[in-house]
Every structure is written in structure tokens, then in C-alpha cells.
Amino acid sequence: MEIGPITIHYYALSILSGIAIAILLGRKRYKDIGGNPEDISEAALWAVPAGIIGGRIYHVITSPDKYFGKNGDPIDALKIWEGGLGIWGAISLGAIGAYLYYRTHKTSHSFSYFLYALAPGIALAQAVGRIGNWFNIELFGSPTTLPWALEVPIFKRPMDYGQFSTFHPTFLYELIWCTALAIFLMNLPKLLKEKFSAPGDLFAIYVAGYSIGRLWIETLRIDSANLIFGVRLNVWVSLLVLIFALTYLFNSSKKHKKSSAN
């Protein structure tokens, strides 16, 4: 969209809107557990740039042909507004950025409470960010004639799919999944009727919950991707992350039961 000399990219606007929502919700939740909400805002100054860089690095590494292949242009790797942020890279480097802030600054709560406060907001940020994929007409799935199918212009269709006009809007499925996950995370402590023994557990539940949805969504997508044993790389990554998250939750539960017994 052009406003005078200024060009507004809807994908970038979606990402920034999601980040703003995550910070605002995180500030409220952090304050509700007795923390100073400024911790969230200041940590975000470290986490957000690190997350964007990490997300872009992950995307470029997992889709190298688009930028370094025969018809690729390495300069395009810098054009974030055209789409392409890998969530696992964004979460990893973003979390590292926030952790470094907590390690180097005096804060009202520990880093685990930061993760507790931010978990639902991150899921909502992902949901809002997926709206940008609709504007870019990207990351859709296999052909379908369902009523909510996405109509894709022929120049946007992958090779070998030119004869199909409508496809699964997988970004919409992820938007719905992430929104439901955020609502679940916000209400989980009330459902359990007790506080988490380890605040970081809620973040691990977010990671596990998102991974489950992503595993299903990845099986529908048809955009080019690196394959390992014939399976999309992001499927393997989501599976490994899910295993790590569940292992963490299992060990955390054992520690809680052991401490309660003592």
C-alpha cells in the first residue's frame, strides 16, 4: 500500500501488530503475578530484534535455493517484508535475547516468570502474523474445493499445480490453532486450580501445543522445502521440539512430586 512516498508492507505490519499484542498482554500478565511490567518492555528491546534475525536466518537456511540457487538472488534474503520468518529460529534467538537481558539487569522476577507471562502472547502474535501470509498469498497447502479454500492466481501457484485454482489456506489453520492455544494457555492455571510449581512449564506447554498443530499443518503444505528421508524438514524440527518439550514437562513433574513428598 502506498501513502505518498511511504510504502506499507502488510506482511511487516502484521508481524509488528503481533509483536505489539504479545508485549501488551505480557505486561498485563507479568503485572498480575507481581512483576514490574517495564521488565517485559525492556526485555522486548533485546528479544524482538534477536527474534526477527533468528527467524530470518532459520528461513534462509531451510530454504536456500530461493536465495542461493540457480535462479536465486542472495540480496532477497534481506527482504523480510516479502515474507519468510521461521518460527523456531525466532523463538530460539528471541528467548536468548530476553535471557541475556535478565542475566545482565536487575528485574522484579526471574526469567521463568517472563516466559510464563509471554507464552499466550507469543501464540497470539503468531496468529496475527499469519494474516501477512494471506496478503502475500503464500504458505498455502494442497489443492482443495472446500468452501473456505484460498483462490491463488496462476503466477503464485507452485510448479505442477497450475491446473488447480483453490488451495488449503494453511496459514488460516495455523491462525485458528494459535488463537485457541493462546486462550487455552491463559485459562490453564484456572483449570488446574493451582499455580505452576515451575513457571516455565507454561512456556513448555505452549511449545508442545504449537508443535502438535504445526506437525499437521506441515503435512498439508506444498511450498518448496528441504526434505529428509522424503519428509519436510519442518516436520522433523517440530517433532524434535515436541519431544524436548514433553521431556522437560515430564522431568519438571517428577521434580514437583519429589519436592512435595519431602
- pLDDT band, very low/low/confident/very high, at 194 (cuts 50, 70, 90): low
Q: Is the pLDDT of residue 198 over 80?
A: no
Q: Is the pLDDT of residue 32 over 80?
A: yes
| Most confident of the following: 1-15, 54-68, 130-144, 162-176 | 162-176
pLDDT at 210: 96
- pLDDT band, very low/low/confident/very high, at 92 (cuts 50, 70, 90): very high
List pLDDT tens digits, range 160-180: 899 999 999 999 999 999 999
List pLDDT tens digits, range 146-157: 999 999 999 999
Check if the beta carbon of residue 77 is closer than 8 Å to that of residue 56: yes
pLDDT at 196: 56
Name the nearest CA neighbour of 133 among 9, 8, 7.
9
In whole angstroms, what is the distance from residue 65 CA to residue 50 CA?
24
Q: Cβ neighbours of residue 105 under 8 Å, at least 6 residues apart?
A: 42
Check if the beta carbon of residue 95 is closer than 8 Å to that of residue 207: no
- pLDDT band, very low/low/confident/very high, at 227 (cuts 50, 70, 90): confident
Q: Cβ neighbours of residue 246 under 8 Å, at least 6 residues apart?
A: 208
Name the nearest CA neighbour of 188 among 88, 97, 128, 120.
120
Check if the beta carbon of residue 152 is closer than 8 Å to that of residue 140: yes
Percentage of the residues of the chain whose pLDDT score is greater than 70: 92
Check if the beta carbon of residue 221 is closer than 8 Å to that of residue 232: yes
Q: Which residue has the higher pLDDT, 78 or 193?
A: 78
Percentage of the residues of the chain whose pLDDT score is greater than 90: 62
List pLDDT tens digits, range 1-21: 545 455 567 888 898 999 999
pLDDT at 62: 75
Task: Quote the cell numbers at residue 163.
Answer: 491446473
In whole angstroms, what is the distance from residue 231 CA to residue 92 CA?
23
Check if the beta carbon of residue 252 is closer than 8 Å to that of residue 199: no
- pLDDT band, very low/low/confident/very high, at 205 (cuts 50, 70, 90): very high
Q: Which residue has the higher pLDDT, 49 or 259?
A: 49
Q: What is the DSSP string of 151-194?
A: E--GGGSPTT-TT--EE--HHHHHHHHHHHHHHHHHHHHHHHTS
In whole angstroms, what is the distance from residue 13 CA to residue 222 CA?
25
This prediction's pTM: 0.88
In whole angstroms, what is the distance from residue 165 CA to residue 150 CA?
8
pLDDT at 119: 96
